[in-house]
Amino acid sequence: MSKEQEFEDSIRNILEYIGEDVNREGLEKTPSRVRKAFEFICGGYKENPEEILNSALFTSSNDEMVVIKDIEFYSQCEHHMLPIIGKAHVAYIPNGKVVGLSKIPRVVNVFARRLQIQEQMTEQICDALNDALKPKGVAVMIDARHMCMEMRGVEKICSTTVTSALRGLFKQNKKTKDEFLTIVSSSLQK
């Protein structure tokens, strides 16, 4: 049996488990739709953030802070496989190299499209940029809603989780950190 068929059988088992009739017309294509949906929302395992960043590095003498904020993403928590919906805010201070702007949201997508905990995703984005760009500093802040805390469990629909990862000047220099916080604080979810 192919891996695809095995996946679709697992979905049929889940449908039966929750009390559905797997043979009713509306559910006929559901196992293959779910498989394709998962291939997309978990597609980050097949992508390499290092390659993405290295594909668009440009020499630059600029050494001022670059901030890309409000990068919306969808991820899934590794505990319940329920959505994490949020925004990432990313900043770096170049050190001879800048990266193509679009590559930063692409890297956010790579890590988001894996099973995650928010703290780890924040660190992974930060480390990927730090390794590829070797900048004077990197800062990543993520502000997200966890459906496992809203749809079920503790059922808190107004609560958001904010995490950050800081490297280089953002960690060492309070003024640099404060500048980043001032820029992103207006974007934090209400």
Ligand X SMILES: Nc1nc2c(ncn2[C@@H]2O[C@H](COP(=O)(O)OP(=O)(O)OP(=O)(O)O)[C@@H](O)[C@H]2O)c(=O)[nH]1
Interface residues with Zn ion (CB under 5 A)? 77, 79-80, 148
Distance in angstroms (rounded) separating the CA atoms of residues 42 and 116: 10
With H, G, I as helix, E, B as strand and everything else as coil, classify residue 159: coil
Least Cβ distance, residue 157 to Zn ion (angstroms): 15
What is the spatial order of strands in the sheet that 137-146 belongs to? 115-116, 66-77, 83-93, 137-146, 161-168
Q: Shortest gap between Cβ of 147 and ligand X (angstroms)?
A: 9
- Whether 77 is a known active-site residue: answer yes
- Measured CA to CA, the distance from residue 40 to residue 98 in angstroms comes to 29
Active site residue 148: yes
Contacts of 128 (CB under 8 A, 6+ apart): 49, 50, 53, 107, 111
**Cβ-closest residue to Zn ion?**
148
Q: Is the Cβ of residue 83 or residue 94 nearer to ligand X in the bound state?
A: 83
Residues 136-165 within binding reach of ligand X (CB under 6 A): 146, 148-149, 153-154
User: Binding site for Zn(2+): what residues are annotated?
Assistant: 77, 80, 148
77 binds ligand X (CB under 6 A): yes
Q: What DSSP string runs through 53-105? A: HHTTEEE----S-EEEEEEEEEEEETTT--EEEEEEEEEEE-SSEEE-TTHHH
Active site residue 89: no
**Beta carbon nearer to ligand X, 57 or 162:** 162
132 is a contact residue toward ligand X (CB under 6 A) = no
Of 35 and 145, which has the nearer Cβ to ligand X? 145
| Residues belonging to the active site | 77-80, 118, 146, 148
Which residues contact ligand X by CB under 6 A?
77, 79, 117-119, 146, 148-149, 153-154
